[in-house]
Amino acid sequence: MTAADSYPPSSPQAPVVVAHGGAGADSQHKDGCAAAAEAGLARLRGGADAVQAAVAAVGVLEDDPRFNAGTGSVLRMDGVTIEMDAAVMDSQGRLGAVAGLRRVRHPVEVAAAVADTPHWLLCGEGALRFARHIGAADHDPTTAQALHKHAAMLKDLQQGKRLIPGEDNASFAQYWNFATPLAVAPGQACDTVGAVVRDAAGRFAVAGSTGGCAPALLGRVGDTPIIGAGFYAGPAGAVAVTGIGEHIVRHLLAHTVHGWLAGGMRLPQALQRALTLFDPAIDIGLIAVSATESGARSNRDMPWAAAGDAQLP
Ligand code: ASP
């Protein structure tokens, strides 16, 4: 089913925030995206810049256990580990990301803090130590829903259901890299949350956060924290991508779409064209904002919402 093909009107330079809850996620969870977009817009109205608004929007989704980011993230194949990825970027060149981060409540805030360091991306143990250094408290993002989802995925694996398009389930057993043994003979959950923002000054920002895809080996990183793949912000706008990261990275999708916008393509056409790059079996979704337009498109159900001022103040 194709979702998300209406485009809210937005005046040039009128502030707007668009938030999504992941390609393949339940579109009935749109209320969570609306709350996130409104939170971002409230920050803009309070004087925050585009990045701060995007981080605020994504933070709301990380706290909503219905979404696969922060609290509610999917479990890795051992049924215990949660590794999260997040990123932020704006059209002024601000850039920060984390990958494989464990036990924090708001990975997107850690990603935003990385932008202040000499680096753009921290991963694993170093990202966790950095998170504690900036005051991010220990937080277990495991939820009952995530445990239930994991059990359902194991059941699918046991029944031989192919969980990743084009991938043999047996490869997870072949390359198993957890300290604990594989509990089943070698189901699928993805989803990511994201937000794109245009502020009153015409600056653009993007933020994203995810628990990744399931099934996944320990240490797997998708597109969400990879610049140009899962996210990009530049002079022509901001783009956030969701779907199966292994496919998204090969198209540098967010940067590719930004390039189309910079070349003058209308935003709805650019998002639609992005979907045509992929086999329909691959979950893909995008949200974007340009100087004059904003919107979303997915080849699956995808909850999303926009909030914005219709007129310039
Ligand atoms: N893109 C994310 C990843 O591959 C998952 C998603 O967006 O559904 O980690």
Q: What is the pLDDT of residues 77-116, one digit of tens each?
A: 888 899 999 999 999 999 999 999 999 999 999 999 999 9
Q: Is the CB of 287 under 6 A from ligand 1?
A: no
pLDDT score, position 191: 79
In a domain, 313, yes or no: no
pLDDT score, position 178: 84
Q: How far is the CA of 96 from the centre of ligand 1 (A)?
A: 18
For CA atoms 239, 240, 244, 248, give the dihedral sign: positive
The structure's pTM equals: 0.90
Structure tokens at 167: 């991938």
- What is the rounded average pLDDT of the residues 158-174? 74
pLDDT score, position 187: 45
In a domain, 194, yes or no: yes
pLDDT score, position 185: 47
Residues marked active site are found at 192
Q: Is the CB of 243 under 6 A from ligand 1?
A: yes
Q: How many domains does the chain have?
A: 1
Q: How far is the CA of 145 from the centre of ligand 1 (A)?
A: 18
CATH value at residue 118: 3.60.20.30
Which string of b and e fits 135-172 if b means at least 16 CB within 10 Å? Answer: ebeeeebbbeebeebbeebbebbeeeeebbeeeebeeb
- What is the rounded average pLDDT of the residues 120-133? 98
In a domain, 139, yes or no: yes
Q: Is the CB of 52 under 6 A from ligand 1?
A: no
- What is the rounded average pLDDT of the residues 30-38? 98
pLDDT tens digits for 189-243? 567 899 999 999 999 999 999 999 888 899 999 999 999 999 999 999 999 999 9
What angle do helix axes 253-262 and 267-276 make, rounded to 10 degrees? 140
Q: Answer with the residue of higher pLDDT: 97 or 3.
A: 97
Percent of the chain with pLDDT over 70: 92
Please state the atom number of ligand 1 nearest to the C-alpha of residue 191. Answer: 8
Residue 167 domain boundaries:
5-308
Q: How far is CA 177 from CA 21, 74, 78, 131, 216, in A?
A: 29, 18, 10, 25, 10
How many other C-beta atoms lie within 10 A of the C-beta of residue 213?
23
Mutate to test the pocket of ligand 1, among 20, 224, 231, 278 (most ligand atoms within 8 A of CB): 224
Average pLDDT over the chain, rounded to whole? 90
In a domain, 241, yes or no: yes
pLDDT tens digits for 255-309? 999 999 999 999 999 999 999 999 999 999 999 999 999 999 999 999 999 999 7
pLDDT score, position 188: 53
Please say if the pLDDT value at position 165 is more than 70: yes
Cβ–Cβ < 8 Å for 204, 51: no
Cβ–Cβ < 8 Å for 223, 229: yes
Residues facing 305 on adjacent strands = 19
In a domain, 286, yes or no: yes
Residue 204 three-state SS: strand
Cβ–Cβ < 8 Å for 284, 274: yes
- What is the rounded average pLDDT of the residues 34-48? 97
pLDDT score, position 79: 87
